[in-house]
């Protein structure tokens, strides 16, 4: 194989009762890339992510993450696989009964034999890597702003140095400055930690700024391509998405920046 494929989805079918969400969907994610997943409401972006991370068994199809089947009955292997990825949910999904530090320490406490001082050092490092002040460590999730919650969620997702991180709308609900900072953060973490990033997003700025490729969910399947390729795509929804007023504004801005 020419490229190193870390996630492969083949012939995926998702069905809720009579309603078919995905049909014969194929998706391949390469190691070290940042791939953005876009699509209209109800096209099953979050569902696709849940299926890849083993939370929702698809009706049919083949999913392999890092060469392993997330739905294997071998619980040891499934558990080992789950430690090789990290997930940031839309609202952070922090454990509300625990402090920020405890949230980040949780995966380390459960899955490593690190000594307590080492664990605390590593947690402090992760907090710093996602750009949070260490004073935030003793706060409760309910005392944090939306952007900080997402950073803590990312720090928890990165706690065990995963190979893949899944991000569900990481910049939704953030102000443009925080959103930019978050984009920068993801980009720098990808470069320094060698992560593969799968990101559901509607933020056109994010898509243009940091995504290597974009997967568009239309007609129950995905169309994958770089931004330039997708702009040439003739599908009406894709043309509307990238050619609409917002899309044009971002492209124009980017073009001006590149000159």
Report the candidate in 157, 186, 198, 156 with the shortest Cα–Cα distance to residue 66: 198
Q: Does residue 153 belong to the site contacting other proteins (CB under 8 A)?
A: no
Measure the CA–CA gap between 241 and 246, rounded to whole angstroms: 8
Q: Does residue 112 belong to the site contacting other proteins (CB under 8 A)?
A: yes
If the CB atoms of residues 3 and 121 are measured against other proteins, the closer one turns out to be 121
CB of 120 to other proteins, least distance (A): 5
CB of 110 to other proteins, least distance (A): 13
Q: Which residues pair with 215 in a beta bridge?
A: 37, 224
Task: Calculate the alpha carbon distances from 204 to 8, 42, 167 in Å.
Answer: 25, 19, 15
Q: Does residue 140 belong to the site contacting other proteins (CB under 8 A)?
A: yes
Q: Does residue 160 belong to the site contacting other proteins (CB under 8 A)?
A: yes
Asked if 181 and 156 touch (Cβ cutoff 8 Å), the reply is: no
Q: Does residue 79 belong to the site contacting other proteins (CB under 8 A)?
A: no
Q: Which of 19, 73, 75, 113 binds other proteins (CB under 8 A)?
A: 113
Only one of the segments 36-44, 138-146, 173-181, 250-258 lies at the binding site for other proteins (rule: CB under 8 A); that segment is 138-146
Phi, psi of 147 (to 5 degrees): -65, -40
3-state per-residue secondary structure call for 194-231: CCEEEEECCCHHHHHHHCCEEEEEECCEEEEECHHHHH
Q: Does residue 124 belong to the site contacting other proteins (CB under 8 A)?
A: yes
Binding residues among 179-208 for other proteins as defined by CB under 8 A: 188, 191-194
* Interface contacts to other proteins, rule CB under 8 A: 96-97, 101, 108, 112-115, 118, 120-129, 134-135, 137-138, 140-142, 158, 160-161, 188, 191-194
């Amino acid at each position: 194989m020419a490229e190193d494929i870390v996630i492969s989805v083949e012939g995926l079918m998702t069905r809720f009762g009579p309603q078919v969400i995905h049909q014969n969907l194929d998706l391949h994610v390469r190691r070290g890339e940042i791939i953005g997943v876009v699509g209209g409401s109800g096209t099953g972006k979050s569902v696709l992510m849940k299926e890849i991370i083993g939370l929702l068994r698809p009706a049919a199809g083949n999913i392999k993450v890092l060469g392993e089947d997330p739905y294997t009955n071998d619980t040891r292997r499934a558990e080992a696989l789950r430690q090789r990825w990290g997930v940031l949910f839309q609202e952070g999904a922090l454990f509300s009964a625990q402090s920020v530090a405890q949230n980040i320490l949780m995966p380390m406490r459960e899955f490593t034999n690190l000594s307590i001082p080492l664990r605390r050092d590593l947690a402090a490092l992760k907090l710093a890597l996602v750009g949070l002040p260490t004073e935030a460590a003793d706060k409760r999730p309910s005392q944090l702003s939306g952007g900080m919650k997402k950073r803590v969620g990312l720090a928890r997702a990165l706690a065990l140095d995963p190979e893949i991180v899944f991000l569900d709308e990481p910049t939704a609900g953030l102000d443009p400055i925080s959103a930019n900072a978050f984009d920068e953060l993801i980009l720098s973490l990808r470069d320094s930690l060698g992560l593969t990033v799968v990101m559901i997003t509607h933020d056109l700025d994010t898509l243009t700024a940091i995504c290597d490729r974009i997967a568009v969910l239309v007609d129950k399947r995905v169309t994958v391509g770089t931004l330039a390729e997708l702009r040439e795509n003739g599908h009406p929804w894709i043309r509307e998405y990238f050619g609409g007023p917002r899309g044009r504004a971002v492209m124009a801005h980017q073009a001006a920046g590149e000159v």
